[in-house]
Amino acid sequence: MEKYISVAETAKRWNVSQRRIQILCSENRIKGAIKQSGVWLIPYGAKKPDRIKPGVKVEKEIKLNVLSLFSGCGGMDLGFEGGFYVLKESINETVHPEWIAKKCGKAWIKLPDTRFHTVFANDIKPEAKAAWCNYFKKRGIDDTSYYLDSIVDLVKLQKENKVNIFPVNVDIVTGGFPCQDFSIAGKRKGFDSDKAHNGRKVDSDLPTAENRGHLYMWMREVISITKPKIFIAENVKGLTNLQDAKEIIEKDFSSICDGGYLVVPARVLNAAEYGVPQGRERVIFFGFKKEALMEKALEELSKDDISNEYDPYPVVTHYNSEKGENNTLRPFVTVEQAFIDLVEPEFSNDVCQQKYSKAKFMGKHCQGQQEVKLKGVGPTIRSEHHGNIEFRRLAEDHGGEYHQELAKGMKERRLTVRECARIQTFPDDYEFIITKKEGNVSVSASEAYKIIGNAVPPLLAYHIAKRIENNWQRYFGG
């Protein structure tokens, strides 16, 4: 059995700093180094890497291709790509010291790029495509890789007309299949959704294989076509307590390619526990291609209680400090921290900070009629809020508690588009309100709210991506 030693012990042996050891590990320059529960472990007999001579090119790791379904504006895609700015408080340096590629002032840090590269994206909302293309094109991703079509129609095209819609050599398939029918905020129709795959109302009262509640089955079809090494599916927490929906979906995913995929038990992740300033809970499904897994990985992932070493779920980095002290985790990131340097809409040059819903206060018995708690985590940013996005500040006669702000003449208003994006951990260089251009539609403030609310928080997606990246060799040997 391989014996491992700590970063501190290795640093002492090699007469270098612990930070240097961590960097070497993150660059995969120490053979056999593994990351367990956020801590790097180095093989006892590992050799100190040679210094890279000036002018010598370092061979880069091969990129891993990601096919993204139900992509929206790309929250999951951005997380898997990496290389974006987040709040310094959102990163726990004790757990992930190698996650700081660059510092920007006192408040922001840039996350390192990952090995992952998006080669295909898809959604039915023109506004989501417009925002995605506008942003990711600036990052060097070809906007022709985004398909504005229903997944049902794309699968049918591939199968019936023998047209190669989906790319080959796909390593990972990700997808946040539509969640409205499983959400506790919706009508909870689940598999019996009355919405079709293209967003329109179903003509028949009977559920069909093409309704919105069954679209995960079409994600299953894409997986069977592309045969990735791993797939990751995401949905709302409400799915876990809607009859036996979670178990049905796990079983259906397990049957892909005649039982060719190992699906580990789905788990609910709270975004606040990963540095996102929002109490957003999502259920995550992982599926592994059995024939691609290393023998040891297949054995470990098949266990009821997966060891920390092989667990695909990311380790928690933040906690609710109101419940006591913790020496390893950082406190939840607050709304106040997320809003650093944001000025009031009338003084901002950012159109996303200038725009906010003008829906009037309707009484606290209605959804979205609350003030955000600046000292706490933000509310779940909803897609279907119909203008009733939460208030940044209420007037005193409506129960507003920010008396000092009101005394300064700051008015009652709802959250701006940029404030919602900050709560979701989208970087400020992501423009959500854009004009029509290059064949894409314009995106209004109203639509911007929707696509932000539909997204996976990029930082949560980054945690998932980095966990898989760090375990890739352990899982697949390459």
Beta-bridged to residue 437, according to DSSP, are 440
CA–CA separation, 407 vs 420, rounded Å? Answer: 25
Q: What are phi and psi of 175, to 5 degrees?
A: -175, 125
Q: Using alpha carbons, select from 254, 278, 401 the residue that is nearest to residue 333.
A: 278
Tell which phi-psi region holds residue 222, choosing left (phi > 0), alpha (psi between -120 and 50) or beta.
Answer: alpha
Contact 424, 235 (CB under 8 A): no
How far is it, in rounded angstroms, from Cα 117 to Cα 82? Answer: 10
Residue that has been written with the tokens 């891993």 in this structure: 64
Q: Are the beta carbons of 423 and 381 closer than 8 angstroms?
A: yes
DSSP 113: B
Give Cα separations from 312 to 17, 81, 101, 204, 413 (angstroms): 29, 18, 24, 40, 41
The catalytic residue among 25, 133, 179, 352 is 179
Phi-psi region of 468 (alpha: psi -120 to 50; beta: other; left: phi over 0): alpha
Q: What are phi and psi of 98, to 5 degrees?
A: -85, 5
* Pairwise CA distance, residues 70 & 236, whole Å: 14
| Residue 133 annotated to the active site | no
From residue 467, give the alpha-carbon distance in Å to each of 271, 315, 361, 438, 463: 15, 8, 43, 36, 6
Strand residue runs (E) in 150-237: 172-175, 230-236
Q: What angle do CA 208, 213, 218 make, to 5 degrees?
A: 75
Give the C-alpha separation, 83 to 30, whole Å. Answer: 23
Active site residues: 179
